[in-house]
Amino acid sequence: MKSYFRFLSKNKLYTTIEVTGMAIAIAFVLFIGSFAIQEIKTDSAIKRQGNIYVGHSERMFIGCATVKEQLEGKFPEVEAMCRVIGTHIFGGIEMDMIVDGQKERQNSLITDENFFEFFPFELVEGNPEAVLKEKYAVVISQSCANRLFGDEEALGKNIEIVVNGSRADLHVTGIYKDFSQTIFFVPDIIYRVDLLSELDQSMTVNGSGIAVLFYRLAEGTDVKALEDKIESVLKKEDMLYVHQLFKEYHLTSFADISKLDLEATIPFEGIVRADFTNLFASAGLFLLLFAVFNYISLTVAQTGFRAKEMASRRLLGTQIENIIFRYIGESFILTLVSFAFALLIVGFISPYLSMLVGKEVSPFSSFGWRESVFFLSVLILLSLCSGIIPALIVSRYKPIDVVRGNFTRTSKMTLGKILIGFQSFIAFISLSVAGVIYLQINYMIHKPMGYEKNGIISVQNAAKPSDYHVDELRSLSCVENVGWLQFDPMTLGSSVVSVFKNGGELKFDVINGTQSAFEILGFKVIRQNAEPLPYRIWLTESALKALGVDYDCTELEFDNTRFSVCGIIEDFHKGSAVTPMKTEFLKILQVMDMEKDEDFRVLRKLAVKVHGDEHEALNEIKTFYRNKGLTEDDIKVKTYNEINYSLYDAENKSLKLLMIFTALILLLTSMAMFAMSTYYARQHAKEVALRKVMGCEGFQLFVETSSRFLKAVLIAVLVSIPLSWYVSGIWLENYSYRIDNPIQVYVLSLLFMLCVALVSVSWQMLRLIHTNPVKTLKNE
């Protein structure tokens, strides 16, 4: 291998490009492989059971806690059911726990008594069948036991819980190992649903969607038929289905949760959608493929300069098989060096890519046999794939032809141009599709929704109204106005009221709030007919027309109940830009006031109008609450623009991934073109020198030499335009509110690709053209 190391030392550009490109690609593949292995490990014990299903609507996982009661005992194919409620979904509700006078916010799962029989989370102390048998039992995590009781025995200790003022003393009956590698919310304590109902019945009544229901199904169950039977029951008995907030009921295998595309994934955390995982894996494989292409093309381009060495070895008796193994061995050495650098790179990029996927992934933190096999497989496969093609090409040459000089050093580098063309093909598709996604996201984010988003900050999650310190908040220099709200209009919360008129049912989707909150949100008043006093309503224009009343309406009457109308406002859109409009619901605003603590059960959050820079105001308000001793878990403060942006989290993740992928592809492609232009210059130095002697102009030479690379890129791009257009069009069809497929994106992407190619090859081409021809011919 001494000759190979001499070759590498003499060809520093070749070595640098190969090691750098391969190391970058391997680093991403190692991260993606570790991420995939982590996803396989996540809840693997539950997935292996194979008969655990989650029930959900077409919109979200959570539903009414009463569904279990409505279904229990009706379907023999259902062996067991278990409800799970995570307190992290509750905002504006007092949920505390007290131990030895020390109070802290509850971080709880509230479940049925069979939770530990249903799900194989490890108990350190206690029996799965017994730990939640008693209504006042509580099971705590190891870390919580250590935090609350130190070295004392935790079993038998008491924990007092508080739910909206109601209290209960629970005794510790078990300790579980802290949840890890799971999509479940990670709790400190677990207690029973029926106890929650006893403490605050309003939280678990029919119509309050807070629970996710799991099923254990008998082997051979017809899942679709069971879905239909459950749905028919719910449409008669469950208020969310009766009022058509939900319309469909589905049962999904626990292993397939990541394949679902729902509006909300609560109470689960860290779900990475399967389509994003597939996109991520595809990006990594393409990067690795491109790195292999670079190795092959550059190695083949170097064949002419190593031909005499290989010919000499053949003449001295070395067999073709040994030449092939030699090339594979050289590939292994270079891959091993690249692998070492990749391990350094992956440690650096892991925190940033973890933010992209939405969960922490550390390739070295839980290194096991799966990771070892994967890392070793990558190393071996890369070495084989990278080395085999150059080895086969070299083995075709006859050593006697090389010795006699019949083997030309001026190869056309056809393979290199083909590979550069393929890389340009993929790079253009990635670049143009990323451009379309960016424009579509921007279009949705800025859709007029019928209310204001700029300069408005949402403050929520407090356990009681006094925690908001509203009077002091108003006195902050950045605060212009403060109002109380039930729901932000961009969220999916609904308060539905049904009334009957002329024998028909009318459904109202009500947003409750103070008049100041409605003014902050900027709902446009078409006509005001009365003062907006508490319990008067604003009708949207669509509701007005559906009700068949005039614009000067001041009163509505349904079933001998009168509603005072203060005026008419323009229609507004709830949810994201692509959330379907539910035409069966008439949107209205009901004016309320925060007069007593009971009103906090409805008006749970604040809308804060600020002036000046909203990010500076955001930081000032966050600091204000920190100074009050409230953490970000106690009070959540976000701008409306941040909340609006988060509605398109899936699209933004895909865009960021595509941007990273595109940048790396362009980097690898430009490195390949730069290296290939270098070897082209070396191979064609004599030809260019002779043409200069014959009087050929430098500009003409530059155009001719550069065009050989630009043509490959141009052809690849022109071929890829129809496919890019088709892929972008298919993607855009997923959105009801969308842009037209933008021609300018493809034009700009084309120009950008040509610029990248031109910049990549220009330095070597200019250097070749400006080299003294006498010096070149003398060296020849």
Residue 411 token pair: 């190869």
For 292-339, write each residue's pLDDT tens digit. 777 776 666 555 555 555 555 555 555 666 666 777 777 778 888 888
For 137-179, write each residue's pLDDT tens digit. 999 999 999 999 988 899 999 999 999 889 999 999 999 999 9
Residue 576 token pair: 């994201």
Residue 489, pLDDT above cutoff 80: yes
Average pLDDT over residues 459-470: 90
- 529 sits in which H/E element: none
| pLDDT score of 30 | 85
| pLDDT score of 418 | 78
Residues sharing a CB contact under 8 Å with residue 445, sequence separation 6 or more, in sequence order: 577, 644, 645, 648
Which of the pair, 686 or 436, is modelled with greater confidence? 436
Query: Helices (H), strands (E): how many in the chain?
Result: 25, 24
| pLDDT score of 508 | 83
E-assigned strand segments in 395-503: 456-460, 479-485, 495-501
For the beta carbon of residue 402, count every other beta carbon within 10 angstroms: 19
Do the beta carbons of residue 521 and residue 489 sit within 8 Å?
yes
For 175-210, write each residue's pLDDT tens digit. 999 998 899 989 999 999 999 999 988 888 988 888
In the three-class reduction of DSSP (H, G, I as helix; E, B as strand; rest coil), residue 62 is classed as coil
Query: Confidence band (pLDDT; 50, 70, 90) for 39?
Result: confident
Burial class (CB in 10 A: 0-12, 13-18, 19+), 412: exposed
| pLDDT score of 777 | 45
In angstroms, what CA-CA distances link 350 with 26, 362, 659?
A: 13, 6, 17
Of 95-99, 269-273, 754-758, 769-773, the one with minimum mean pLDDT is 769-773
In angstroms, the CA 218 to CA 235 distance is 24
How many whole angstroms from its chain centre is CA 133?
39
| pLDDT score of 558 | 73
For 219-237, write each residue's pLDDT tens digit. 999 999 999 999 999 999 9
In angstroms, the CA 298 to CA 301 distance is 5
Global confidence as pTM = 0.80
In angstroms, what CA-CA distances link 571 with 487, 518, 537, 539, 574?
A: 17, 13, 14, 9, 10
Average pLDDT across the chain, whole number: 83
In angstroms, the CA 449 to CA 453 distance is 9
Q: What percent of the chain has pLDDT over 90?
A: 40
Region for 481 from its dihedrals, namely left if φ exceeds 0, alpha if ψ lies in -120 to 50, beta otherwise:
beta
Most confident of 32-41, 93-102, 188-197, 496-505: 188-197
- 91 sits in which H/E element: none
What is 370-398 written as a DSSP string?
HHHHHHHHHHHHHHHHHHHHHHHHHHTS-
In angstroms, what CA-CA distances link 7 with 105, 254, 330?
A: 66, 55, 11
How many whole angstroms from its chain centre is CA 592?
38
**Which one-letter DSSP state was computed for residue 437?**
H
